């Protein structure tokens, strides 16, 4: 018999015993070489569920988090998604990266299991009537904003490095940036693919510099950007460096050190927010996980909040997908979240520059 998550939820909340849990899934690459974004995403969702359980759960039922590691290969990702479906979760948060989403979304569609991604931006998933709900800006919005910002800062020839291990995101991002930057009057001096086995960080940076750019743009994960920045600072001290939103976590400063001073990147949340709502979340997250929240932690906490609000408001006959589309807008930590008819939402963007080890907002 085919498993229908929304029918399970309806039956659970309508008639099962008070001890029966509502199962919510999470899927991400928790064992990859740079797992900080995925781990923080899991932690943000975990905190949202723990706080809701402390307040009585969902309709009197406790909420159980089911975590699956999508690993580092396509086979591992697909197996993890199949295991998540078989665990009979009613809805899931994930994936964190576009590369993993490309592997697991078809399986979620086949099972009619809603996936809510806090962070996926690739244009491959925009405007699609599927079971993926996106809560982040898309690559076109991000890349166009970066193109305008770099041109405004006087950079006319930029060399771009992009990580092919997350091809769905990076190829989409480069395409959109190239188009928007040319329209503004800039030129992409070089496009350097990154991530092939045996490819050195130093060689990649040298390829970027060979085009004699007046700035470097990295579309890669935090650990890689930190290493690339260190090489760039050795080979071309003082050359302006920019990183896409993918690398904008706290580990960038910790791992990059002096090499990332002056680097421009973007944030999808306001680190300096002094509102009571955000302060409570920040303090609770710091206490629970012994580190400050990153963008993926904030976004996943919001994903959990959105799901729980939609499940609270839905009628017994409505699917999770219909409820998410119908009952917005939802109140996140720092902004209202509204899905369009394709399940796409957006977030605010704040450009920052690393100064004295801090992300300082740019005008």
Task: Please state, in angstroms and as integers, the Cα–Cα distance from residue 220 to each residue in 107, 234, 260, following that order.
Answer: 26, 19, 14
- Predicted pLDDT of residue 15: 39
Fold annotation for 139-267: Rossmann fold (3.40.50)
Q: Which long-range contacts (CB under 8 A, 24 or more apart) does 194-199 make?
A: 194/161, 194/162, 194/163, 194/164, 194/220, 194/224, 195/163, 195/164, 195/165, 195/220, 195/224, 196/164
- Predicted pLDDT of residue 34: 62
Region of 329 (left: φ > 0; alpha: ψ -120 to 50; beta: rest) is: beta
- Predicted pLDDT of residue 18: 58
Beta bridge partners of 242: 217, 264
- Predicted pLDDT of residue 197: 77
Q: What is the mean pLDDT of residues 59-79?
A: 94
Give the helix/strand (H/E) hosting 132. Answer: strand 132-134
- Sorted by where each begins, the domain ranges of the chain are 5-137+274-337, 139-267
Residue 62's Cα: distance from chain center in Å? 27
Q: What is the mean pLDDT of residues 72-94?
A: 95
Per-residue pLDDT tens for 130-140? Answer: 999 999 999 99
The answer, yes or no, to whether residue 13 has pLDDT greater than 60, is no
Residue 287: which residues within 8 A CB-CB, separation 6 or more?
Answer: none
Q: Do 5-137+274-337 and 139-267 agree at the fold level? A: yes
Question: Residue 12's pLDDT band (boundaries 50, 70, 90)?
Answer: very low
Q: Which residue has the tokens 């006959």?
A: 317
- Predicted pLDDT of residue 2: 44
- Predicted pLDDT of residue 6: 46
Count other Cβ atoms within 10 Å, centred on residue 231: 19
Residues 205/180, Cβ–Cβ less than 8 Å? no
Per-residue pLDDT tens for 211-228? Answer: 999 999 999 999 999 999
CA–CA dist 233, 247 (Å, integer)? 17
| Class of 5-137+274-337 in CATH | alpha beta
Task: Give the phi and the psi of residue 48 in degrees, each rounded to 5.
Answer: -60, -40
Per-residue pLDDT tens for 90-131? Answer: 999 999 989 899 999 999 999 999 999 999 999 999 999 999
Residue 80: which residues within 8 A CB-CB, separation 6 or more?
Answer: 27, 68, 69, 70, 71, 104
Q: Which residue has the tokens 């092939």?
A: 196
Whole-number average pLDDT of the chain:
92
Extract the tokens encoding 81.
């998604």
Per-residue pLDDT tens for 150-204? Answer: 999 999 999 999 999 989 999 999 999 999 999 999 999 999 999 877 788 999 9
CA–CA dist 257, 135 (Å, integer)? 31
The answer, yes or no, to whether residue 1 has pLDDT greater than 60, is no
Pairing of strands 132-134, 187-194: unpaired
- Predicted pLDDT of residue 3: 44
The answer, yes or no, to whether residue 35 has pLDDT greater than 80, is no
Residues 129/347, Cβ–Cβ less than 8 Å? no
The answer, yes or no, to whether residue 24 has pLDDT greater than 70, is yes
């Amino acid at each position: 018999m085919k498993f229908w998550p929304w029918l399970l939820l309806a039956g659970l909340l309508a008639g099962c015993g008070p001890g029966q849990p509502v199962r919510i899934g999470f899927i991400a690459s928790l064992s990859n070489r740079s797992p900080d974004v995925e781990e923080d995403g899991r932690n943000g969702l975990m905190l949202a569920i723990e706080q809701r359980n402390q307040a009585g759960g969902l309709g009197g039922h406790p909420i159980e988090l089911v975590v699956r590691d999508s690993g580092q290969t396509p086979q591992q990702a697909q197996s993890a998604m199949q295991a998540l479906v078989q665990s009979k979760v009613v809805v899931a948060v994930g994936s964190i990266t576009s590369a993993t989403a490309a592997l697991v979304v078809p399986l979620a569609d086949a099972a009619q299991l809603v996936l809510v991604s806090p962070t996926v931006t690739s244009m491959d998933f925009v405007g699609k009537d599927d079971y993926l709900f996106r809560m982040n800006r898309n690559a076109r919005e991000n890349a166009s904003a970066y193109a305008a910002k770099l041109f405004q800062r006087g950079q006319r020839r930029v060399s771009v490095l992009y990580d092919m291990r997350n091809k769905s995101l990076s190829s989409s991002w480069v395409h959109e940036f190239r188009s928007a930057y040319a329209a503004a009057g800039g030129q992409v001096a070089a496009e350097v693919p990154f991530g092939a086995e045996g490819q050195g960080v130093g060689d990649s940076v040298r390829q970027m510099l060979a085009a004699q750019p007046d700035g470097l743009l990295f579309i890669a994960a935090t650990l890689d950007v930190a290493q690339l920045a260190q090489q760039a600072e050795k080979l071309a001290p003082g050359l302006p460096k920019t990183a896409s939103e993918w690398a904008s976590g706290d580990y960038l400063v910790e791992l990059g050190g002096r090499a990332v001073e002056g680097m421009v990147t973007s944030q999808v949340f306001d680190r300096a927010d002094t509102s009571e709502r955000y302060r409570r979340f920040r303090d609770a997250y710091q206490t629970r996980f012994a580190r400050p929240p990153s963008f993926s932690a904030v976004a996943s906490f919001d994903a959990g909040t959105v799901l729980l609000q939609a499940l609270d408001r839905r009628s017994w006959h409505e699917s999770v997908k219909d409820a998410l589309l119908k009952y917005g807008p939802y109140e996140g930590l720092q902004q209202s979240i509204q899905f369009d008819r394709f399940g796409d939402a957006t977030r605010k963007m704040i450009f920052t520059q690393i100064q004295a080890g801090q992300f300082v907002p740019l005008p």
